[in-house]
Amino acid sequence: MSEDQAAQKDELLALGSIYDEEEFHGAESAPGGEIQLCLELPPNFKLIVKGDKQTEYDVSFLPPLVLNFELPADYPSSSSPVYTLSSKWLSRDQMTSLCKRLDELWGENQGCVVLYKWIQFLKEEAFAFLDVKSPLEVVKAGMVPVDAKRSKAGVKRAGTIIGEEDKLESLLELDPRAVLVVDPRTDILPQLLDFDEAHRQKEFDGKAFCCSICFMEKLGSSCLCFKGCQHVYCKACMTEYFGIQIRDGNVQCLNCPEPKCTSLAMPSQVKLLVGEELFTRYDRLLLKSSLDLMADVVYCPRQSCCQAVMVEQDTTMGICPSCQYAFCTLCKRGYHGLSHCKVTADELRGLRDEYISASAEGKKFMEQRFGKRVIQRAVEESFSRDWLYENCKGCPRCGTNIQAVPGCGY
C-alpha cells in the first residue's frame, strides 16, 4: 500500500469515528464519501418573509451543506479531493465563494490530509466568511440574504475586483462544483420550517424533563411540550387528562395544566396521545364548536339528522343538504314563508322579559319575527301573571285563582 493510500484510509477511518452515520457516509466503491454539515446558527436567528405582510420565523436549524468528495490516487501528496458542494438555502454565488476558500485551504495544506480542515471551516466559519446575518430573507422564488448580494468579504476572498454592488453578480463566475439542490422557482420556506421543526423535536427527545403532574423525570421522547408556552408534561399524564376532557365534551379546554396558562394543545398532539375513537369524538366536537361561532351556520332541527346547514344572507329559510328538510332558521319549525313564527305557551312566558330587556333594534326584530300582536299578548299575559301571583291565591280545592275579600273569613 502506498503512502497516499494509507493516508486516505486513516483519514476516512478518523472521519467515521468522529462523525455519526447521519453526518458522514463513506463510499463503498472508491475512496470518498458524503459529509452533511449543519451550520451553527447564531442565537435568535430568524427567517423573514416579505410580501403584503412581513412575517418572521425563529429557527434553530437550517438544512445542511452537503460535501460530496472523491479522493484521487495521488491525494494528498499531489492532488486535491474532487468535490461538489450543495445547499438548499445558500445561493450559487455564495457556494462559489466557499469552493474557492476550500481551494485556498488545500493550497495552504498541500501534501497533508485536508478534509477535516474543510469540515471545520464549513461548520464553524462559513457564516462569518459569507457575512450571513439574521434575519435571512425568504422570497417566493427561493432564498437570498437580506442584502440580496454576496458580502464584500466573500468577493475579496474569491479574488474578484470590488465594483458597484449591483454588478457583483456578473463579476463572479459561478463554480460548477457549487450545486443548488432546489429549483430557484420553488418556495423553499416550508422545507426550511419542516427541517427546523424535525431537528428541534430530535433535540427535545434527547433531553430529560420533570413532569409537573406526576413529578417523575422522563426523556423528551416520553413527554409533550405545549408550543405556546413551552411547558412540558409526560405523555401518560396528558393522555389521561385529554381523555377526561374529551369524554366530558370540553374540547376547547385542552389547554396547558399550568395555572392561568391559556396555551392550547395542537390537534396533531391530541391525535398522538388518545385512541382513534376519542380523537374522532374530539374532531367532531371541535368542528361543531367552531361552526357554532359562525353566524351563517345553523343545524337541521330534526333529531335524527342535526346536519350543519349554511344559510344565505337576508333569508330565514334553511334547507338541510342531508335530509332536504326546509325549516325556519328562527323558530326551527317547518318553513312558513312570510308568516310569523308560532309561539308555544311555554315560550310565550319568556318572551316578555326578552322583549323588555332588548335594545330598540332587538325589539324591532322580535316584532318582525313574532308579530306585534303576539308580543303585545305576551307582555299583557306576563303582567297578568305577575298581578295574580302578588294578589291572589289558589283555591285549596280546585286551584283556581281567588282573591280574599276582607271580612269573608277566608
Nearest one of 89, 84, 48, 92 to 67, comparing CA atoms: 84
Angle at 403 between CA 402 and CA 404, to 5 degrees: 120
> Is residue 334 a contact partner of residue 326, using CB atoms and an 8 Å limit?
yes
Query: What are the Cα distances from residue 174, in Å, to 54, 119, 306, 327?
Result: 31, 22, 64, 70
Based on the residue annotation, tell me whether 408 is a catalytic residue of this protein.
yes
Residue in the structure block whose three cell numbers are 454592488: 165
CA 260 – CA 263 distance, rounded (Å): 9
Using left for φ > 0, alpha for ψ between -120 and 50, and beta otherwise, residue 307 falls in: beta
DSSP strand pairing (82-87 vs 178-180): parallel
Q: Is the peptide bond before 396 cis (omega within 30 degrees of 0)?
A: no
Which residue in the list 300, 320, 328, 408 is annotated as catalytic?
A: 408
Residue 37 cell numbers, joined: 454539515
Nearest one of 275, 331, 262, 332 to 300, comparing CA atoms: 332
Long-range contacts, stretch 328-337, CB < 8 angstroms, 24+ apart: 329/298, 330/369, 332/301, 333/301
Nearest one of 167, 161, 122 to 149, comparing CA atoms: 167
> Is residue 269 a contact partner of residue 224, using CB atoms and an 8 Å limit?
yes
Using left for φ > 0, alpha for ψ between -120 and 50, and beta otherwise, residue 16 falls in: alpha
CA 158 – CA 152 distance, rounded (Å): 10
Nearest one of 40, 72, 380, 61 to 197, comparing CA atoms: 61
Active site positions, annotated: 408
